[in-house]
């Protein structure tokens, strides 16, 4: 029905009209690698650090179950795989998206998509939310706002899965390539505030080969920030 041209991702798709969170369902189910959980609405959509992700009908809310056999230090790179997949999908809709380190995709500095990765045992859940035809909270933006018209959610779903599948193959062979691809799409050389253990202000200069943010502080000192319990604000 979808005629997906993928080798791993989307071999099985489980659909709900309404669910708490596709990530929670993906975590609890014992399913084969590549299974996708997708829902029209989430009642408890989550972002990072227990933030709420608003998920009304009209958006694309899904989680992919992955079981990558890679070194532990390569697992966090999956968030970039998701973000690149979203940017490539938007590109196919003629929308120029950029990655805000580490897990958001922005259009005109407004959030069109967010990625939430979680590891449970051998499973890594790649959760992706894209505002497509839905109304968004303030500072959000949807595909329909950019294009001035609604688009087929099924079409966006299909091209996203195809992009993710292609990127997953690249990732399994060469996780570092995913970081390089993400770097090209990232918003860099902008002043930022990093919030986590206290506050650090600097210029987000680059990301390193492990995906850490390279921050240049006011005194010229370089600090590397690990994707963990931190969030980033543009200044």
In whole angstroms, give the CA distance from residue 123 to residue 66: 6
Nearer to ligand BTX, 10 or 140 (CB): 140
Q: Which of 5, 12, 51, 233 touches ligand BTX by CB under 6 A? A: 51
**Dist. CA 154–CA 35, nearest whole Å:** 17
Binding flag, residue 101, ligand BTX (CB under 6 A): no
Cβ neighbours of 29 (radius 10 Å): 13
Residue 137 sits in the site that holds ligand BTX (CB under 6 A): yes
| Cβ distance to ligand BTX smaller for residue 137 or 176 | 137
- In the list 8, 14, 46, 90, the residue contacting ligand BTX (rule: CB under 6 A) is 46
Q: Residue 136: in which H helix or E strand, if any?
A: none
Contact call for residue 117 and ligand BTX (CB under 6 A): no
Closest CA to 142 of 82, 59, 62, 83: 59
For the chain, how big is the Rg over CA atoms in Å? 17
Whether 176 and 183 have beta carbons less than 8 Å apart is answered as no
At closest approach, how far in Å is the CB of 136 from ligand BTX? 5
Size of the site for ligand BTX (CB under 6 A): 30
Residue 88 or 111: the one with the smaller Cβ distance to ligand BTX is: 111
Binders of ligand BTX among residues 58 to 97 (CB under 6 A) are: 61-63
The whole-angstrom separation of Cα 220 and Cα 223 is 10
Of 8, 9, 21, 211, the one binding ligand BTX by CB under 6 A: 21
* Of 114, 96, 95, residue with least CA distance to 104: 114
Q: Which residues bind ligand BTX (CB under 6 A)?
A: 21-23, 42, 45-49, 51-55, 61-63, 103-104, 111, 114-116, 127-129, 131, 136-137, 140
């Amino acid at each position: 029905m979808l005629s997906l041209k993928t080798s791993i991702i989307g071999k099985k798709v489980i659909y709900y009209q309404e669910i708490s969170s596709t990530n929670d369902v993906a975590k609890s189910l014992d399913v084969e690698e590549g299974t996708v959980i997708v829902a029209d609405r989430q009642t408890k959509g989550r972002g990072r650090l227990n933030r709420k992700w608003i998920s009304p009908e009209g958006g694309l809310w899904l989680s992919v179950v992955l079981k990558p056999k890679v070194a532990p230090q390569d697992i966090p790179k999956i968030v970039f795989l998701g973000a690149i997949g979203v940017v490539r999908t938007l590109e196919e809709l003629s929308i120029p998206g950029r990655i805000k380190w580490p897990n958001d995709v922005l259009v005109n500095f407004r959030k069109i998509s967010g990625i939430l990765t979680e590891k449970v045992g051998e499973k890594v859940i790649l959760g992706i939310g894209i505002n497509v035809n839905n109304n968004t909270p303030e500072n959000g933006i949807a595909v329909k706002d950019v294009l001035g018209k609604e688009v087929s959610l099924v079409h966006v779903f299909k091209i996203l899965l195809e992009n993710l599948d292609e990127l997953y193959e690249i990732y399994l062979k060469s996780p570092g390539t995913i970081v390089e691809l993400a770097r090209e799409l990232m918003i860099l050389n902008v002043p930022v505030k990093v919030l986590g253990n206290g506050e650090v202000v600097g210029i987000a200069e680059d990301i390193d080969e492990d995906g850490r943010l390279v921050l240049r502080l006011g005194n010229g000192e370089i600090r590397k920030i690990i994707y963990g319990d931190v969030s980033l604000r543009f200044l």
